[in-house]
Amino acid sequence: MAKKEIAVVILNWNGKALLEKFLPSVLRYSENAAIYVADNASTDDSVSFLKTTYPSVKIIQNKENGGYAKGYNDALKQVDEAVFCLLNSDIEVTEDWLQPIQALFNSEPGTAIIQPKILDYKNKAYFEYAGAGGGFIDKFGYPYCRGRIFDTIEKDLGQYNDTIPIFWASGACFFIRKSVFEKLHGFDESFFAHMEEIDLCWRAHNVGYITKYIGTSTVYHVGGATLNSTNPKKTYLNFRNSLFTLTKNAPKNLFFLIFTRLVLDGLASLKFMTGFKFAHILAVLKAHASFYLRLPQLLKKRQALRHNINVIKPRDYYHVRSIVWLYFVKNHKKF
């Protein structure tokens, strides 16, 4: 049997119910890929369920729950296929979802990372928050997507059925060449979870790799199955890790960017206050406190990354200066 080019790797932590619901579609429509479940030291019966029900699935058992970043870093050391697909356990895939992605990797050696169209499993006519039609970032490190800007979600009318370069691909369904993942030393494990894929894509961008979105491949994502948007911990991780990413990867004017983020994050806290979301305000404060405590380490990482950049003329990382200004002041709600 010929060796398969793509490894679909699903990270699991106490997610037996999600595996029962969504793994069948992955097995049904991924005949050209090897299927792995990387278990993050689950305490439920996920592993025994897999061994009994799906013996064809390869199981990798991590020794601890290191979150998304460490979980994948540890697991992918045991995967030999040329392309990794990091797939959330709450995703339903569709027929022929892998074909356009595999074809693009084969035809474009410079493309290192790919994301398909991500729609909402709960409302399949609409894009899903985490990735939608491909990710971008503004000058100050705020991410947004085609099909989703902040909390405004677009209906899928075929407007993003194209194939284009993007800045970041969603970790919910993230394809990357094994060689590139290894060259970039994987995810930054200090992130634990949330935005580590944006950091990885930014590091890839800074050394000349291309990330693309393919709208002819579709998956459906539940979203928030592990940590939903109402959880202050998610607010904490998103705000903190966004600052981590900006500090490590932005090419210049770093302290101006951090100062501006301080002001903008303060305005975000005021918005939480108007909604009486006091736990989220505390989460933003904790995020900034954690960031400033780790700033010396982040600056060392930044220096090391700057030293390794080999692009003669770095490409711009942003298309708009401030998505916050466009969305909240200019009332631009769509990409």
Mean pLDDT of 227-242: 84
- Report pLDDT digits (tens) over 114-131: 999 999 999 999 999 999
Residue (of 73, 75, 5) closest to 37 by Cα position: 75
Q: Where are the domains of the chain?
A: 6-221, 232-329
Is residue 286 over pLDDT 60? yes
Mean pLDDT of 255-270: 90
Q: Is 262 helix (H, G, I), strand (E, B) or coil?
A: helix
CB hemisphere CA count around 191 (13 angstroms): 27
Side chain identity at residue 5, one-letter code? E
Q: Is 214 helix (H, G, I), strand (E, B) or coil?
A: strand
Rounded to whole angstroms, the Cα distance separating 270 from 272 reads 5
Is residue 292 over pLDDT 90? yes
210, two tokens: 């291309």
Is residue 192 over pLDDT 70? yes
Mean pLDDT of 217-245: 85
Is residue 275 over pLDDT 90? no
Range list of β-strands (E), the chain: 6-12, 33-40, 58-62, 83-87, 91-93, 111-120, 123-127, 135-137, 143-145, 148-149, 152-153, 163-166, 173-177, 210-221
Are the C-beta atoms of 101 and 82 separated by less than 8 Å? no
Is residue 134 over pLDDT 70? yes
Mean pLDDT of 161-168: 98
pLDDT computed for residue 225 by the predictor:
52
Confidence tier at 226 by pLDDT (50, 70, 90): low
The helix or strand, by DSSP H or E, that contains position 239, with its residue range, turns out to be: helix 232-249
Encode 259-270: b = buried (16+ Cβ within 10 Å), e = exposed: ebbeebbeebbe
Is residue 266 over pLDDT 90? no
- Statement: 6-221 belongs to CATH 3.40.225.10: no
Is residue 276 over pLDDT 90? no
pLDDT computed for residue 224 by the predictor:
66
Rounded to whole angstroms, the Cα distance separating 192 from 168 reads 18
pLDDT computed for residue 288 by the predictor:
94
Is residue 88 over pLDDT 80? yes
Q: What is the pTM of this model?
A: 0.94
Are the C-beta atoms of 42 and 14 separated by less than 8 Å? yes
What average pLDDT is seen over the chain? 93
**Least confident window among 92-101, 156-165, 232-241, 289-298:** 232-241
Mean pLDDT of 162-175: 98
pLDDT computed for residue 313 by the predictor:
61
pLDDT computed for residue 247 by the predictor:
96
